[in-house]
Amino acid sequence: KWLYERTKDSIVFIHIVPKADQLEAIENLMKSAGHVEESRRAAFINGNGHCGTGFVVEQGPDHLKILMSAHIIDHVFSSTNPVSSHVCNRVFTTRIICDHYESSFRRPGQNTHPQHVYAEVPRTAVMDLDEICLRNHPPVTFSSVHPAPFDECAMISWPPLRHRTAVTGSVSHPSRSLLDLAQHNPVGYRMNLLEAKIASEDGSSGAPLVNGSGKVIAMLHGGFGGPFSYFVRLTDIIYFLAHHGVVIRRFFHFN
């Protein structure tokens, strides 16, 4: 429970909406990505956008850097046609809700957000926050130890309307090949995934998986509804963040 208290301020709700004057650009991006059938494209353009969970990896005086799953926008990219965060910022509006904001006016039984439409699920993207909540959003700390089978783990996520959803489980395999998990891989994801016996659902995508010390060991990618969920591995997250110049907090054991 201390782990929950410590992590909740670092977790945010993400809502990505197409900009009204960029609908044609988004349609063209979907055409280039090439894996959304023509008949389904209108739903992505005219819908209410997509939601996911994210967590803070860097906090500055005037910005936050938030890591999220790219599942939320995977209708517009593929591994052969990657989309830069610059392009994403041009065509989508990104709305971030932090735990402080949600807690400040949430009452039991009250709906605080409109109904959303969700997409499937991940790669990773760092985005900046437009408006600033001046309270503390401490960056998460990453583990330096790779998780092993049977290690206990926990996940806190934020599916739409269900703030602070906390679940526990255990690691069941540290590195599954994507080919072993899915026959269809239209986006062309190439990474291996950590498998954990933990419940998840669409909208929790991007949630951090933490170990017993509260250190991040992976990020939710998919597997919603079954007994197992699949996570982007620590090495891939660290590599991605380093590549984007994010100075991360890491926890090292000195014995």
Q: Give residues in contact with Zn ion (CB under 5 A).
A: 98, 100, 133, 135
Residue number with CB closer to Zn ion (19 or 135): 135
Measured between alpha carbons, how far is residue 111 from residues 57, 96, 160, 184, 203 in Å? 29, 17, 10, 36, 17
Residue number with CB closer to Zn ion (59 or 81): 59
| Residue 187, token pair as written in the block | 């986006």
Least distance CB 100 / Zn ion (angstroms): 3
| Residue 228, token pair as written in the block | 């197992």
Least distance CB 207 / Zn ion (angstroms): 17
Least distance CB 97 / Zn ion (angstroms): 9
- The pairing of strands 193-197 and 165-176 is antiparallel
Residue number with CB closer to Zn ion (94 or 229): 94
Helix axes 38-46, 23-33, angle to 10 degrees: 140
Residue number with CB closer to Zn ion (85 or 104): 104
Least distance CB 8 / Zn ion (angstroms): 10
Residue number with CB closer to Zn ion (91 or 98): 98
Vertex 160 angle, CA 158 and 165, to 5°? 30
Least distance CB 121 / Zn ion (angstroms): 26
Vertex 86 angle, CA 80 and 88, to 5°? 70
Cα distance between residue 48 and residue 114, in whole Å: 9
Residue number with CB closer to Zn ion (100 or 116): 100
Tell me the β-bridge partners of 179. none
Q: Which residue has the tokens 């969700």?
A: 118
Taking alpha carbons only, the member of 193, 192, 121, 199 closest to residue 153 is 199
Least distance CB 101 / Zn ion (angstroms): 6
- The pairing of strands 141-143 and 249-251 is parallel
